[in-house]
């Protein structure tokens, strides 16, 4: 007899279907990699067309081809300017890192220093560098020092503020762990606070490094006989707009290079911020 | 005392003890601040922790249980602690200087820029042989906490439970006499927490350490401890001390037993009475 209840059949296990990997053609991938450059190229072409179509005078808006000519005609002079500005910005940035980190350590470790000195630093911070630059030239003359100081002044505060924050935002429990291991204040500073502040230092570079370039340009603009900033004053006085455009682009280039080097350094030096699971 | 017959994983030279007491608090009061803004965090607390004992402190938030731990660790300013407080017959500060005390917190507080191994050896690096030399290597220590082979990983690559194991390995690295734990499993999910309970007991069986544990979980307190200290709030006082006599090793099933529930109820009533 078959009155026995039908045996409960085990449900066959369900298997998930893994979708096959898709792989786009080489042309598509090449396009995806280069499309931002294509947009840039298109913009340049459009610029050229607009300038020629509306017959815009050279001193108002030079066409890209005219800018190339301006660069080729003055290549030696412009490259010298580029190098001079880069050196000044590097100098200002270097001093800003050293002074900024030192002040940050003092501020983070000494309440008295913070109470007495920080208000003055804040005054200097809000004082526009444009206002100080002529003074610097009166004091130091037309040489590298005022330019480096301008560059330094713009770069130092982001570094100071971020590093101080990094030094102070250490987990108090980690400090307790160190104290229980009999760590001295110096050892806590070196082994916990400073490593903790490193990512803050590098993220401050993203603001400080292009800032150092702007500061150097400003210093040159106001009182110098070389560098991109100085060349801009010379060529704008001559209404040589094409050259001014080229010089502005070269200034951008310095800033972009500074920024990207810092981003690259950040990835190399503080990899724990980018460790992936 | 259950557990005393378990084999030690020895230290080179045993530290002389004043009797069997590892931690001793007598009439301890802890006052934060002075004058009108002073706050009495703990008043008249008594506590004794013997060798290889596990004692838990439970109580409402703000009853000063974490403050007691910090006082034992010598992390509070001397002026704020009154009464007799000694660790291995010394002041907390001396005990700390001799490397007798370690602490584990709710968060693992690992240094993200150091590998797991370098995190575990941080106390050794810092001590630079001034206290004592560890008998176990970092790898052995990680093996003990169940993380063998994880030496070169970074904390970010670990789960919450694994990070807390690293934190435990770091705390045990200098082979302390007293391990202070401040809600060590509070940030973990319940399944991981259950797992860590048996793991902590297994690790403890392999060391000679006494544990003072602060927790919000009554279950955790009973399961791990030889005694549970219930504290009342404002100011913090010891309301009752409840012995827990379950044999060791204990297994997670114990948490479902009637005897366990009875102790749990007793603690709960005591907490309600001492709001």
What pLDDT, on the 0 to 100 scale, is given for residue B5? 40
Contact list in B for residue A170 (CB cut-off 8 A) is none
d(CA B209, CA B104): 13
Same-domain check for residues A35 and A143: no
Distance from CA of B57 to the nearest CA of A (A): 20
Contact list in B for residue A187 (CB cut-off 8 A) is 126
**Does the pLDDT value for residue A27 go beyond 90?**
no
Tell me whether residues A173 and B99 touch, CB distance under 8 A.
no
Q: Report pLDDT digits (tens) over A111-136.
A: 888 888 888 888 888 888 888 888 99
**Does the pLDDT value for residue A48 go beyond 90?**
yes
Please, which pLDDT band fits residue B109 given cuts at 50, 70 and 90? Answer: very high
Which stretch of A4-13, A20-29, A237-246, B39-48 has the lowest confidence by average pLDDT? A4-13
Write the CATH number of the domain with boundaries B21-100+176-273. Answer: 3.40.50.300
d(CA A179, CA B191): 32
List the 180-219 stretch of A: residues with Cβ below 8 A of B: 180-183, 187, 191-192, 195-196, 198
Give the B-side interface with A, CB within 8 Å: 70, 73, 75, 96-97, 99, 101-103, 105, 107, 109, 111-113, 122-123, 125-127, 130-131, 154, 156-157, 170-171, 174
Same-domain check for residues A41 and A150: no
Same-domain check for residues A130 and A230: yes
Same-domain check for residues A180 and A50: no
DSSP summary character for residue A189: I
Same-domain check for residues A182 and A219: yes
A2 — contact with chain B (CB < 8 Å)?
no
Domain count, chain A: 2
Q: Report pLDDT digits (tens) over B4-32.
A: 444 444 443 444 444 578 999 999 999 98
Tell me whether residues A181 and B97 touch, CB distance under 8 A.
no
Please, which pLDDT band fits residue B121 given cuts at 50, 70 and 90? Answer: very high
Respond yes or no on whether ipTM tops 0.90.
no
* DSSP string across B166-180: HHHHHHHHT--SEEE
Domain end position, chosen among A57, A75, A102: A57
Same-domain check for residues A143 and A207: yes
Please, which pLDDT band fits residue B260 given cuts at 50, 70 and 90? Answer: very high
The residue that leads in pLDDT, B234 or B164, is B164
Question: Can you tell me the mean pLDDT for A108-113?
Answer: 87
Q: Say which of B75, B107, B131 has its CB closest to residue A182.
A: B131
**Does the pLDDT value for residue A275 go beyond 50?**
no
Q: Say which of A176, A191, A275 has its CB closest to residue B126.
A: A191
Same-domain check for residues A72 and A48: no
What pLDDT, on the 0 to 100 scale, is given for residue B8? 42
Same-domain check for residues A45 and A123: no
Same-domain check for residues A138 and A159: yes
Distance from CA of B5 to the nearest CA of A (A): 30
Q: Is B104 helix (H, G, I), strand (E, B) or coil?
A: strand
* DSSP string across chain B: -TTTTSPP---SSPPP-STTEEEEEEEEEEEES-GGG-EEEEEEEEEEEETT-EEEEEESTTSSHHHHHHHHTT-S-GGGEEEEEEETTB-HHHHHHTT-EEEE-SS----TTS-HHHHHTHHHHHHTTSS---SS-HHHHHHHTT-TT-TT--GGGS-HHHHHHHHHHHHHHT--SEEEEESTTTTS-HHHHHHHHHHHHHHHHTS--EEEEE-S-HHHHHHH-SEEEEEETTTBEEEEEEE----SS--GGGGGSHHHHHHHHHHHHHHHHT-
Question: Can you tell me the mean pLDDT for A192-219?
Answer: 93
Distance from CA of A174 to the nearest CA of B (A): 5
What pLDDT, on the 0 to 100 scale, is given for residue B7? 41
Same-domain check for residues A203 and A75: yes
Q: Report pLDDT digits (tens) over A137-180.
A: 899 988 899 999 999 999 999 999 999 999 999 999 999 999 99
Q: Say which of B75, B122, B154 has its CB closest to residue A176.
A: B75
Same-domain check for residues A117 and A226: yes
In which domain, by residue range, is A78 found? Answer: 67-273
């Amino acid at each position: 007899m078959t009155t026995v209840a039908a045996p409960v059949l085990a449900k066959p296990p369900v298997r998930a279907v893994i979708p096959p990997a898709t792989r786009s053609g080489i042309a598509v991938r090449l396009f995806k990699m280069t499309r931002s450059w294509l947009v840039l190229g298109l913009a340049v072409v459009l610029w050229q067309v607009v300038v020629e179509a509306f017959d815009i005078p050279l001193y108002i808006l030079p066409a890209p081809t005219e800018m190339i000519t301006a660069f080729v005609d003055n290549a030696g002079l412009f490259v010298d300017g580029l190098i001079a500005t880069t050196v000044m910005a590097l100098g200002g940035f270097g001093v800003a890192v050293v002074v900024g980190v030192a002040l940050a350590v003092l501020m983070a470790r000494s309440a008295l220093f913070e109470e007495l000195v920080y208000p003055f630093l804040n005054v200097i911070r809000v004082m526009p560098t444009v206002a100080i630059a002529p003074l610097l030239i009166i004091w130091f003359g037309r040489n590298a020092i005022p330019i480096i100081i301008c560059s330094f002044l713009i770069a130092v505060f982001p570094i100071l503020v971020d590093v101080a924050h990094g030094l102070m935002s250490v987990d108090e429990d980690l400090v307790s762990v160190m104290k229980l291991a009999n760590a001295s204040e110096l050892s806590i500073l070196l082994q916990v606070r400073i490593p903790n502040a490193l990512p803050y230092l590098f993220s401050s570079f993203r603001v400080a490094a292009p800032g150092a370039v702007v500061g150097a340009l400003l210093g040159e603009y106001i009182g110098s006989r070389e560098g991109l900033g100085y060349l801009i004053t010379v060529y704008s006085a001559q209404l040589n707009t094409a050259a001014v455009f080229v010089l502005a682009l070269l200034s951008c280039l310095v800033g972009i290079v500074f920024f990207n080097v810092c981003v690259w350094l950040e990835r190399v030096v503080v990899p724990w911020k980018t460790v992936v699971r | 005392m259950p557990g005393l017959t378990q084999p030690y994983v020895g230290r080179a030279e045993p530290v002389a003890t004043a009797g069997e007491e590892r931690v001793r608090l007598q009439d301890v009061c802890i006052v934060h601040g002075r004058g009108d803004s002073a706050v009495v965090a703990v008043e008249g607390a008594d506590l004794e922790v013997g060798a290889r004992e596990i004692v838990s402190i439970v109580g409402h938030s703000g009853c000063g249980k974490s403050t007691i731990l910090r006082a034992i660790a010598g992390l509070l300013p001397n002026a704020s602690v009154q009464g007799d407080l000694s660790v291995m017959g010394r002041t907390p500060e001396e005990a700390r200087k001799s490397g007798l005390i370690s602490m584990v917190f709710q968060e693992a507080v690992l240094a993200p820029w150091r590998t797991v191994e370098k995190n575990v050896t941080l106390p050794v690096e810092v001590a630079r042989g001034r206290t004592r030399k560890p008998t176990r290597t970092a790898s052995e220590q990680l093996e003990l906490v169940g993380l063998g082979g994880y030496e070169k990983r970074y904390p970010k690559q670990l789960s919450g439970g694994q990070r807390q194991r690293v934190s435990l390995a770091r705390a045990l690295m200098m082979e302390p006499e007293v391990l202070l734990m401040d809600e060590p499993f509070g940030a973990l999910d319940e399944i991981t927490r259950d797992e860590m309970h048996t793991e902590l007991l297994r690790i403890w069986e392999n060391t000679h350490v006494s544990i003072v544990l602060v927790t919000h979980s009554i279950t955790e307190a009973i399961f791990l401890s030889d005694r549970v200290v219930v504290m009342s709030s404002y100011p913090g006082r010891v309301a009752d001390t409840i012995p827990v006599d379950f044999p060791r090793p204990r297994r997670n099933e114990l948490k479902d037993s009637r005897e366990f529930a009875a102790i749990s109820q007793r603690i709960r009533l005591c907490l309600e009475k001492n709001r």
